[in-house]
């Protein structure tokens, strides 16, 4: 098992979008290598997943996934190295979650996402960068969306489609969730793509690659992501585009980056890295 921090949100007592209670997993029994004879995880796979949508795998037994490898167009490798497979099912590399099956996740094993962290400096009405009164450091702002499924603020990330490059996912998800490109007319969409292409085609700063402590994780299915920061230093690139929530987002806003924020999954950890790398207030 990889030496990663114990997940917390992946052990939330009630599984998201359901009445299903996870089998309680105290900190000292998270690790698969800790003997836990009483462990009796609840089995749950959401009806939406069992209905066989295009984005989901079938049940194990009716197909033979190639774990830890590229399986046709589906990448079943983990960013964290090789994971175990037990009785034909992949085991969560961060340990027990109290729930077996896939829950709301489509793939057995890693479910790959990408998170675009778009930032700018907070400026006053004269255009000067605002410094925080405590830290004296400049304040960053990032584009955040309020998730429709749970009402929590988050980075506007999303799932990598089979065969899609991460760089495409980053740009597509930002356009769909923060700029509502899916509802835009073809000419508006073209304008959005043109405006954001410059920022997203610049070298982004990769701040995280690995397991996400997501409340949807189970013993056999989990989220992984690549989080990349795209920074609008001058404030006149993507900062000027009107934000409009779309797809899985209920609201969208520029939010001041600060350690006191409450964000979905472990997104706050990604922002901490951005703030420290850019010598910004945290």
Alpha helices in the chain (DSSP H): 47-50, 166-178, 186-201, 267-277
Rounded to whole angstroms, the Cα distance separating 243 from 181 reads 10
- Answer for the pair 259, 280: CB distance below 8 angstroms, yes or no: no
Rounded to whole angstroms, the Cα distance separating 29 from 242 reads 47
- Cα 75 to Cα 48, 66, 164: the distances in Å are 22, 9, 10
Which CB sits closer to ligand RP5, 138 or 213? 213
Rg (CA), the chain: 20
Whole-number minimum distance, CB 191 to ligand RP5, in Å?
25
**Terminal C-alpha separation, the chain:** 32
10, 49, 105, 212: which one binds ligand RP5 (CB under 6 A): 212
Q: Which stretches does DSSP call E strand in the chain? A: 42-45, 70-71, 74-75, 85-86, 89-90, 99-103, 109-121, 140-147, 153-154, 158-159, 205-211, 221-232, 249-256
Phi, psi of 165 (to 5 degrees): -80, 145
Whole-number minimum distance, CB 35 to ligand RP5, in Å?
30
57, 115, 176, 219: which one binds ligand RP5 (CB under 6 A): 115
Which CB sits closer to ligand RP5, 225 or 237? 225
| Residue 52: both structure tokens together | 């066989």
Whole-number minimum distance, CB 210 to ligand RP5, in Å?
10
- 151 in the Ramachandran plot: left (φ > 0), alpha (ψ -120 to 50) or beta? left
For residue 235, what are the contacts with CB-CB under 8 A and spacing of at least 6? 120, 121, 123, 127
113 binds ligand RP5 (CB under 6 A): yes
225 binds ligand RP5 (CB under 6 A): yes
Rounded to whole angstroms, the Cα distance separating 57 from 62 reads 10
10, 74, 99, 223: which one binds ligand RP5 (CB under 6 A): 223
138, 158, 204, 246: which one binds ligand RP5 (CB under 6 A): 158
Whole-number minimum distance, CB 104 to ligand RP5, in Å?
8
Whole-number minimum distance, CB 245 to ligand RP5, in Å?
13
157 binds ligand RP5 (CB under 6 A): yes
Mask: binding to ligand RP5, 40-69, rule CB under 6 A, as x and -? ------------------------------
Stretch that binds ligand RP5, among 84-92, 94-102, 130-138, 151-159 (CB under 6 A): 151-159
Which CB sits closer to ligand RP5, 148 or 197? 148
- Residues in 243-272 that interact with ligand RP5 by CB under 6 A: 248, 265
- Answer for the pair 104, 216: CB distance below 8 angstroms, yes or no: yes
170 binds ligand RP5 (CB under 6 A): no
Q: Which residues are 111's β-sheet partners?
A: 223
Q: Give the max Cα distance, the chain.
A: 64
100, 176, 214, 232: which one binds ligand RP5 (CB under 6 A): 214
Which CB sits closer to ligand RP5, 271 or 280? 271
105, 155, 192, 245: which one binds ligand RP5 (CB under 6 A): 155
Q: Give residues in contact with ligand RP5 (CB under 6 A).
A: 113, 115, 154-155, 157-159, 212, 214, 223, 225, 248, 265
């Amino acid at each position: 098992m990889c030496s990663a921090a114990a997940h917390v949100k992946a052990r939330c007592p009630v599984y998201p979008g359901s009445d299903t209670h996870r089998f309680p997993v105290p900190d000292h029994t998270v690790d698969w290598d800790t003997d836990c004879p009483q462990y009796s995880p609840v089995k749950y796979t959401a009806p939406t997943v069992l209905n066989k949508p295009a984005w989901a795998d079938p049940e194990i037994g009716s197909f033979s996934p190639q774990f830890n490898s590229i399986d046709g167009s589906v990448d079943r490798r983990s960013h964290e190295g090789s994971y175990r497979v037990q009785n034909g099912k992949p085991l969560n590399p961060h340990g027990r979650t109290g729930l077996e099956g896939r829950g709301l996740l489509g793939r057995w094993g890693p479910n790959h996402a990408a998170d675009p962290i778009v930032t700018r400096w907070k400026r006053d009405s004269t255009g000067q960068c605002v410094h925080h009164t405590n830290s004296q450091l400049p304040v960053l702002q990032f584009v955040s969306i309020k998730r429709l499924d749970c009402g929590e603020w988050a980075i506007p990330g999303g799932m990598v489609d089979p065969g899609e490059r991460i760089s495409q996912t980053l740009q597509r998800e930002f356009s769909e969730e923060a700029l509502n490109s899916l509802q835009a007319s073809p000419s508006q969409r073209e304008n959005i793509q043109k405006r954001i292409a410059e920022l997203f085609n610049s070298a982004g700063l990769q701040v995280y690659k690995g397991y996400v402590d997501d409340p949807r994780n189970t013993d056999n299915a989990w989220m992984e992501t690549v989080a990349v920061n795209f920074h609008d230093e001058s404030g006149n690139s993507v900062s000027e585009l009107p934000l409009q929530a779309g797809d899985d987002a209920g609201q969208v806003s520029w939010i001041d980056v600060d350690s006191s924020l409450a964000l979905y999954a472990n997104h706050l950890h990604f922002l901490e890295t951005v703030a420290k790398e850019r010598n910004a207030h945290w």
